[in-house]
Amino acid sequence: MSRLVVVSNRVSMPTERGARAGGLAVALADAMTPGSVWFGWSGKRMPATSNAATIVENKGVTYATIDLSESDYHRYYVGFSNGSLWPLLHYRTGLLEFRRDDYEGYLAVNEIFADRLTPLLKPDDIVWIHDYQLLTMAEALRQRGVRNRIGLFLHIPFVPPAVLHVLPSASVLVRAMAAADLVGFQTHGDRMNFLESAASCMGAAPDATNGFIHQGHRTETIVAPVGIDADGFAQAAKRAANMAETKRLIESLVGRDLAIGVDRLDYTKGLPQRFDAFGQLLHRHPEHLRRISFLQIAARSREDVDRYQSLRRELDRKAGDINGAYSDFDWTPLRYMTRAVNRNTIAGFYRLARIGVVTPLRDGMNLVAKEFVAAQDSADPGVLVLSRFAGAAEDMTEALIVNPYDADAVADAMHAALIMEKDERITRHAALLAKIRKHTAASFCRDFLRRLKFIERATG
């Protein structure tokens, strides 16, 4: 039996689960079956980067973590990963910052990851690397003689070549990604962009199965949308009816409709545009004045990155503007909180909401859209308003699909959701629920790993 070795920037230790917001930790929790290994950064910044991984066992899973020095953390994580790659791969070239020193720090930390992981590997292990922080690690492992099957999954979007080449050194990254045996994407669009980029960077033309060969190495690709445990989440939402927080929320609504948004506080999530759209709803459809409360839960994130601090100030101001313009002495239209909330509590909140507003300007998948659908009461469900630029929109076509930049259109969709007849709500919800039950967190892991293992049998 080959072991699964998962590698991600941050290892989510069992003790801290539930407390952290983010799609990757949720998706991977299922893959970590007994016997598997999870390798990555501990989340700790120390005077020096670790020379070897610290090993902890828990319920049969081996957690192997390294600490990073302050300088490595800043160059690799804050600088290049979150200052360059994150905006670039979300099509925000105007926000991209590039410093050669950060880029070199990124390559160096990917090599350190490879150095620290290599001694832990057994010949039959299957290595599964995750996400944009580790795009060059597969190549670094190869350079260290690692011949194991290596998969790489990108949880965020991939851009077309014309956008990609805004980043100096983009070709180096694409070549390094191709050192994996299997590269996975959330959507067909992302995969196509990668294949076009590979052709542009390396002259590697894709074959009929969307793979290509470069310098004798074959790279295959797969589209594997990340999902959630829909049934488990639905159960949690039902159970939440008895929680004190749920009862307090119901009491505070005094019969008003609830609209809900749940996000990390990130500029990709379209929060200022969403607040504007809610303002437009109250302006264009005044029948909802005093009849609706919008609850936006935004977990603070990446506070070391300047752009996130300025976003927070912008949202504080906008929330104040809306509430200043529309509040009454006994009604506040927008409730805005900037912290993480327990996932079970959120499940209960989704279930109370008439509308889920998921309007990212660009998102790899967006699990909140799926959680909102899973949490609904099938007999009287709320309506999902979903950005066409979320990966989830490729499949979730029965949502009210909007362009998040168009505040009037989003306002109109929210209005349509609020007045939608029950029959239509039930039909749309049933179709969406069937889809999210099909593509779960477990099926995502299974599909990717099955394909990676098949490659092993074919050539290993």
Active-site residue, from 363, 395, 429, 439:
363
Q: Judged by CB, which is closer to ligand ADP: 140, or 346?
A: 346
Q: Pattern 366-405, binding to ligand ADP, x per CB under 6 A?
A: xxx--x----------------------------------
CA distance 290 to 326: 9
CA distances from 203 to 70, 176, 189, 220 (A): 38, 14, 20, 16
Q: Pattern 171-210, binding to ligand ADP, x per CB under 6 A?
A: ----------------------------------------
Which of 4, 6, 7, 26 contacts ligand ADP by CB under 6 A? 26
Q: How many residues bind ligand ADP (CB under 6 A)?
A: 19
Q: Do 404 and 360 meet the contact criterion of CB atoms below 8 Å apart? A: yes
155 part of the active site: yes
Region binding ligand ADP by CB under 6 A among candidate stretches 9-17, 364-372, 374-382, 401-409: 364-372
* Residue whose CB is nearest to ligand ADP in the complex, by number: 23
CA distance 221 to 206: 10
For the CA atoms of 194, 271, 12, 130, the dihedral, rounded to the nearest 10 degrees, stands at: 0
Active-site residue, from 74, 90, 130, 155:
155
Asked if 348 is part of the footprint of ligand ADP (rule: CB under 6 A), the reply reads no
Asked if 365 is part of the footprint of ligand ADP (rule: CB under 6 A), the reply reads yes
Q: Give which of 174, 213, 188, 224 is closest to 438, Cα–Cα.
A: 224
Region binding ligand ADP by CB under 6 A among candidate stretches 197-205, 307-315, 335-343, 417-425: 335-343
Asked if 130 is part of the footprint of ligand ADP (rule: CB under 6 A), the reply reads no
363 part of the active site: yes
Instruction: Name the residue with tokens 């990851």.
Output: 113
CA distance 321 to 234: 36
Q: Judged by CB, which is closer to ligand ADP: 371, or 395?
A: 371
Which of 78, 341, 409, 420 contacts ligand ADP by CB under 6 A? 341
Region binding ligand ADP by CB under 6 A among candidate stretches 72-80, 282-290, 292-300, 408-416: 292-300
Asked if 333 is part of the footprint of ligand ADP (rule: CB under 6 A), the reply reads no
Give the tokens for residue 302.
Answer: 């990446």
Binding site for ligand ADP (CB under 6 A): 21-23, 26, 262-264, 297-299, 340-341, 343, 346, 365-368, 371
